[in-house]
Structure 1
Amino acid sequence: MNIYSAEVASICTQQKSWYLVQCKPRQDERAEDNLARQGYEISRPKCRYLRVIRGQRQWTVESLFPGYLFINLPTESNWGPLRSTRGVSRVVSFGGVPMAVSDNLVKQLQARVEKHGKSELKLGDNVRIIEDGFVELDAIFMAKDGDERVVLLIHILNRQMQISLPIASIGGNE
């Protein structure tokens, strides 16, 4: 086994963790592209927002955490190439030591973004309330109430009622 293949085998067997990278202002996408081009595993959760641009409503895709992204690296990595990557400001650290982010947290963010990013809710779609005071209750999507809230039709106590909840409180199409 030559030195190069021994180094690659060593890196592949090391424990990997997710770390938070701060990007330069408005350069999230640039940092993501440059890090991916270098072969790093990156996660930059994105959301679709309805914005008014030049008087017209348009869907835009933006970072869920503007100015930040996650990178998956072995614990004993060389951090030098990250700091010199265009679009990257720094690796978030405490006391000079990069702090690992929970694998579970990153997986949950990825799953949630994928689930909500697949399709937009339409009038009459069945949804399940996953948070708030109506947990596990089925509802019907009626409308959006601003950027962050939805109006739902629920059937409770033999009556139909309209309620308004944060969009994060529903579990998508059923």
Structure 2
Amino acid sequence: MPMISTAAAQESTVATTGEWYLVQCKPRQDERAEENLIRQGYGCSRPTCRRERTLRGQMHYAEESLFPGYLFIHMPEGANWAPLRSTRGVARVVAFGGRPLAVGHELIMQLQSRASTHIIAKFNPGDKVTILDQGFAGIESIFMTMDGEERVILLINLMNRQQQISLPLASIANR
């Protein structure tokens, strides 16, 4: 799935001036909000990632929002914000002090490029993994099990003793 949903939306965001803003969507309506905003002519970016899921004993890939409940919208300078309030799937534009805060174009492009290549892998017990951050960066460990949907339990060798630790799933990579 492309990071900017249509070629026309991508061309319009590059050709015009304006800024990117963060939009909060109604619960589980990210895709609906994106479709409706694009239909109205707005440029949208909803970074997604592929996730492995086991369904009826078979492995399937599912495309999911990288930031569930949020998407980015490109608003040209002087654009009317009123239609956003009545767009199906949109809850609100994220604002601070009553003013929407612009998100840098460079950040949007980085998110799109990273999300397009990122697959959240499923690990099997006994797989050797490397910890990427959390003060244990570079330490090799053994995947034991998932701890909920976004955390993992690892076995590491610390001070000549095997210890179990729990870290975010995003903090590990295959060795």
Q: TM-score range by the shorter chain?
A: 0.5 to 0.7
Structure 1 alignment gaps of length 5 or more: 1-7, 51-58
Contact 2:50–2:118 (8 Å) recurs in 1? no
Question: Is the CA contact 2:42–2:74 (under 8 Å) kept in the aligned structure 1?
Answer: no
- Give the % identical residues: 53
- In structure 2, the residue matched to 1:23 is 25
Q: Is 1:32–1:44's contact at 8 Å kept on the other side of the alignment?
A: no
How much has 1:75 moved relative to structure 2?
A: 4.4
* Counterpart Cα distance in 1 of 2:131 and 2:125: 16
Could you say if the C-alpha distance between residues 42 and 161 of structure 1 is closer, same or farther in structure 2, counting changes exceeding 3 Å?
A: same
Residues 157, 35 of structure 1: CA spacing in aligned structure 2 closer, same or farther, 3 A cutoff? same
The 5 Å alignment of 1:110-149 reads 111=114, 115-117=118-120, 119-149=121-151
- Given that 1:45 and 1:109 are in contact with CA atoms closer than 8 Å, whether structure 2 keeps it comes out as no
Q: Secondary structure at the match of 1:133?
A: coil
Q: Deviations over 1:18-46 (max 9, x none)?
A: 21112234432210222234352322556
Q: Quick one: which amino acid aligns to residue 95 of structure 2?
A: S
> How many aligned positions are there?
157
Partner of 1:12: 15
Larger radius of gyration: 1
- Give the match's secondary structure for 2:144: strand
> What is the SS of the residue equivalent to 2:35?
helix
Please give the per-residue CA displacement for 1:90-137, whole angstroms capped at 9, x wherever unaligned. Answer: 3223455321124465556553685243x3222343432122231222
CA distance in 1 between counterparts of 2:140 and 2:35 reads 40
Q: Which has the higher helix share?
A: 1
C-alpha deviations, 1:46-96, integer Å up to 9, x for none? 68598xxxxxxxx98765554432223344434344334322233223455
Cα distance in 1 for residues equivalent to 2:21 and 2:165: 39
Rate the CA distance shift 1:148–1:10 in 2: closer, same or farther, 3 A: closer
Q: Does the 8 Å contact 1:125/1:141 carry over to 2?
A: yes
**Is 1:43 aligned with 2:46?**
yes
Between the aligned partners of 2:72 and 2:44, the Cα distance in structure 1 is 9
* Matched ranges for 1:1-174 at <5 A: 12-14=15-17, 16-37=18-39, 38=41, 40-45=43-48, 63=65, 65-103=67-105, 106=108, 111=114, 115-117=118-120, 119-157=121-159, 160-170=162-172, 172-174=173-175
TM-score where L is the length of structure 1? 0.62
Q: Distance in 1 between matches of 2:107 and 2:14?
A: 23
Question: CA–CA distance in 1 between the matches of 2:19 and 2:73?
Answer: 8
State the Cα RMSD in Å. Answer: 3.9
Q: CA separation of 1:32/1:133 partners in 2, compared to 1, >3 Å: closer, same or farther?
A: same
What is the rounded CA distance, in whole Å, between the counterparts of 1:9 and 1:105 in structure 2?
18
